[in-house]
Every structure is written in C-alpha cells, then in structure tokens.
Amino acid sequence: MSELTVDKRDVEDVTLLYPKGFINAHTVRLFEGEIREALQQGRYKIVVNCSGLSYIASAGLGALMGAIEEIRGGGGDLRLASLNDTVRNIFEILGFNHLYQIYPSEMDAILSFARDGGTGT
C-alpha cells in the first residue's frame, strides 16, 4: 500500500481532496501538488476529506498554511471534514482549529460554501 494517495473530484465549484495514508515530510509534495493544481485551475473552494488520513505532521500543516492566504485572497476557502481523533488532536495542539473551519462530514463542508458564499474566516 502506498504511503499517500490523493484522489480528487469536483462538486460544482467545490474541489474535494481525499488524502489517504499519512502526510509527513516524505509525502507532503504530493498533497501540496494537488492543492496547487486546484488553484492553477482557479478553484478556490476546497474541501479536504480527512476520513482516510491516518496522521499529519508539521510538513502537512505547513502545506495547508502555505496555501490559505492565496485561497482566501481568491475568494474561497479551504475547509476540512471527517477528521479522526489523531488528526483532530494534532490540529487542536497547534490551534489550527481556529484557523480552519472543520466539519463532521464532507456534505456539511460542501454545504457550508453554499451557505456563506465560500469566503474564508
């Protein structure tokens, strides 16, 4: 089994990313590349479905931080869904739960864009 795969699909104007495996210094380039590709296509509403993510190290958190200004500057946001306890815990340790909107399910995250027009916090 590979250490990280990232599937992607679009639901109207929202891009969904599905990282499966773990994101650390070894695998972060792949994750970063998928975010970058979405931005290059002008897609600034992104949901990262973390249901397949076993853990994320600082490299992955850095990838999220490195893109968020550009995403919000483009009128969108990056939102997270379906975090397991391990990943949620890491987010809370660093205070990322105050920086990103986190939803219990992918559908909740998609609908949140429809509710508020998609602009970040």
Partner 1 sequence: MRRPASAPARRGASPKAGTTRPALVLTVPSETSFLGLVREVTRKMAETAGFDLGTADQLALAVDEAATNVIEHAYRGAPDREVEIRLEDRGPEFKVEVVDSGNTVDPRAVPDVDLGRYVKERRTGGLGMHLMEKIMDSVTFRRSAGRNVCRLVKRKAAVARGR
Please give the residue ranges that form the binding site for partner 1 (CB under 8 A).
3, 22, 24-26, 55, 57-59, 61-63, 65-66, 68-69, 85-86, 89-90, 93-96, 98-99
- Shortest spacing between CB 25 and partner 1, in angstroms: 4
- Shortest spacing between CB 7 and partner 1, in angstroms: 20
| Cβ distance to partner 1 smaller for residue 94 or 111 | 94
Q: How many CA atoms lie within 13 A of 36 on its CB side?
A: 8
| Cβ distance to partner 1 smaller for residue 12 or 85 | 85
CA 84 to mean position of chain CA atoms: 14
- Shortest spacing between CB 111 and partner 1, in angstroms: 25
- Taking phi over 0 as left and psi of -120 to 50 as alpha, with beta for the rest, 108 belongs to alpha
CA distance 8 to 20: 11
- Shortest spacing between CB 61 and partner 1, in angstroms: 6
Say if residues 85 and 51 touch (Cβ distance below 8 Å). no
| Cβ distance to partner 1 smaller for residue 41 or 121 | 121
Say if residues 110 and 80 touch (Cβ distance below 8 Å). no
